[in-house]
């Protein structure tokens, strides 16, 4: 499962994390990010329209790698599987969610924030996890500390990651990508500022 998520996101340093409620504009947003070089999108299940947004992007944007974020229950994971998501992300580590991911073979990135949770993940056979909330859980210093006892684990930090610090996280040997909303903030989405969003995506690769 961890190998699958690593292969899926290989070469993609930043995953835009998106909480969207406008289904009609979702494909335009996705294309703006894809045009900027960021095809992997995490659509969080924080809005009632999230599953419709996922379906709209899946249908209209074949180049998009569409993931579901904030997957908190096995029932949500089953819905994501039926929707054909390319990957799933959750804020924490929960064995029943792991079971659904394994049964459906969907690449899955569970969240961890402590050394104990990383140990649990390793003993579940995982080698890649989301580190959340990254800044509040100790940020770069915590990730460096985890690298010692848990050298086999790599992370995707999210939470407090922004245009000013994302490269500092990506410079760590145990970080393979980061996630955040700065590439497509709500005000730019509301104003259909697709060109500026594309430029922000390109900045992540510069």
Q: Which residues are annotated as catalytic?
A: 42, 130
Alpha-carbon distance values, 100 to 1, 38, 97, 187 (Å): 11, 27, 5, 35
Say how far residue 138 (Cα) sits from the centre of its chain.
Answer: 19
Q: For residues 150 and 118, is the Cβ–Cβ distance under 8 A?
A: yes
DSSP-derived secondary structure for 136-169: TTTHHHHHHHHHTTTTT-EEEEBSS--TTTHHHH
Q: How far apart are CA 168 and CA 24, in angstroms?
A: 35
């Amino acid at each position: 499962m961890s190998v699958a998520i690593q292969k899926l996101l290989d070469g993609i340093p930043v995953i835009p994390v998106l909480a969207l409620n406008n289904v009609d504009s979702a494909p335009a947003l996705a294309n703006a990010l894809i045009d900027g070089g960021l095809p992997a999108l995490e659509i969080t299940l924080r809005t009632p329209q999230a599953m419709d947004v996922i379906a709209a992007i899946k249908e209209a944007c074949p180049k998009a790698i569409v993931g579901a974020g904030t997957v908190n229950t096995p029932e949500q994971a089953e819905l994501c599987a039926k929707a054909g998501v390319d990957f799933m992300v959750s804020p924490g580590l929960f064995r029943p969610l792991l079971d659904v991911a394994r049964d459906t073979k969907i690449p899955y990135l569970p969240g961890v924030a402590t050394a104990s949770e990383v140990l649990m993940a390793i003993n579940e056979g995982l080698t890649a996890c989301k580190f959340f909330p990254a800044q509040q859980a100790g940020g770069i210093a915590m990730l460096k500390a985890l690298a010692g006892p848990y050298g086999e684990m790599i992370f995707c930090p999210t939470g407090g990651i922004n245009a000013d610090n994302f490269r500092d996280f990506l410079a760590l040997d145990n970080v393979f990508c980061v996630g955040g909303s700065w590439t497509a903030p709500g005000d730019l989405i509301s104003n259909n500022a697709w060109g500026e969003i594309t430029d922000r995506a390109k900045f992540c690769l510069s």
